[in-house]
Amino acid sequence: MFKFSKLTRSNYLSSLDTTKEELLQIFKLAKLFKSNSLSIDLKNKVLGLIFDKSSTRTRVSFQVAMSRLGGTTIDLNPLTSQIGRGETIKDTARVLSKYCDVLAIRTFNQSTLEEYTKWSSKPIINALTDLEHPCQALADFFTIQEEFTNFDDVVLTFIGDGNNVANSIILCGALCGAEIRIACPPGYEPDSLIIERAKEINHNFSLVITNDINDAVINANVLYTDVWSSMGEENLKENKDKDFEGFTIDSELLNKADKTAIVLHCLPAYRGKEITDEIIDHDRSRIFQQAENRMHVQQALLACLLQ
Ligand code: CP
Ligand code: NVA
């Protein structure tokens, strides 16, 4: 039986809520879960899912992860619970944490999650906010580890908007020790506090923020992209489509990266916008392996929070 420790922090709101050692432990566990070499019993444990935004991967991978661990999930649709009618987070969190053992929440502001943690007696997991998507970053770096083994040798170039997905990649990259390059149009650079925190936790962290995608992909081992307009930004779509013109991962760009480079995308994708059809389905794409890995890393995360 693989011995593992509970996470030091009781919530997982940010990619910085684990140490490097804890992150590597999650990857070890995920590998064992993926190869069906480990079973952990979370019988009678209940995960509540509160999603203020749509989701396919995060919702379903959490449901299946919990079921594989022997536990159950409750889908707490805010529209059909009292949350949608304005019941306070304070009251909601106090009540739900009496029923559930852990809550995964997808919402807009990071401060909403922080408010939940103030009143919940059980762990809160960030299932995506406008600031971070740490569960996604777990799957991303686990997928990279499967391909390259040693993070110190990896250059990851993210091409797109410097928001939630990019922010968690920066923080997780700083923890792992990979080089991270963010290529975005002017005005779409990542949050300066995220950059500051990443540099604080890793003084040797190599982080490049640039508006030049061609420069950014030279010698890159991983090309990564995300949608140009995130959930909640539907009204900005027309302008953002113009601003991001040219920031597409296509075969010409892939050819400028390292010849063994792989391609990642958190999905859902707008094929033909941030990434071409050809690249999503390319033999260097690991996008569907990355999506599968959401389930394995979240199984590991739940085990480390609840065991
Ligand atoms: N990548 C991701 O979080 O996908 P969903 O929005 O489908 O959950
Ligand atoms: N940046 C995207 C990620 C979706 C998984 C969004 O927030 O909509």
Q: Would you say residue 28 has pLDDT above 90?
A: yes
Per residue in 39-51, pLDDT tens? 899 999 999 999 9
Distance CA 1, CA 4 (A): 9
Per residue in 189-235, pLDDT tens? 999 999 999 999 999 999 999 999 999 999 999 999 999 999 999 99
- Residue closest by Cα to atom 6 of ligand 2: 230
Per residue in 81-101, pLDDT tens? 999 999 999 999 999 999 999
Residue whose structure tokens are 């420069």: 215
Q: Output phi, psi for 207, to 5 deg.
A: -130, 125
Per residue in 45-80, pLDDT tens? 999 999 999 999 999 999 999 999 999 999 998 888
Residue of 52, 68, 130, 133 marked catalytic: 133
CA of 127, closest atom in ligand 1: 3
Q: Is 107 exposed, middle or buried (0-12, 13-18, 19+ CB in 10 A)?
A: buried
Question: What was the pLDDT predicted at 11?
Answer: 98
Averaged pLDDT for residues 14-29:
98
To test the pocket of ligand 2, the residue of 108, 163, 267 to mutate (highest count of ligand atoms within 8 Å of its CB) is 163
The closest ligand to the CA of 267 turns out to be: 1
Question: What was the pLDDT predicted at 153?
Answer: 95
Which ranges in the chain belong to alpha helices (H)? 20-34, 57-68, 89-99, 110-119, 134-148, 164-176, 192-201, 213-217, 237-243, 251-254, 277-280, 287-306
Do 293 and 144 meet the contact criterion of CB atoms below 8 Å apart?
no
265 included as an active-site residue: no
Confidence of residue 1 (pLDDT cuts 50, 70, 90): low
On average, the pLDDT of the chain sits at 97
Per residue in 225-283, pLDDT tens? 999 999 999 999 999 999 999 999 999 999 999 999 999 999 999 999 999 999 999 99
The encoded tokens of residue 201 equal 């936790």
Question: pTM of this prediction?
Answer: 0.98
Per residue in 120-171, pLDDT tens? 999 999 999 999 999 999 999 999 999 998 999 999 999 999 999 999 999 9
133 included as an active-site residue: yes
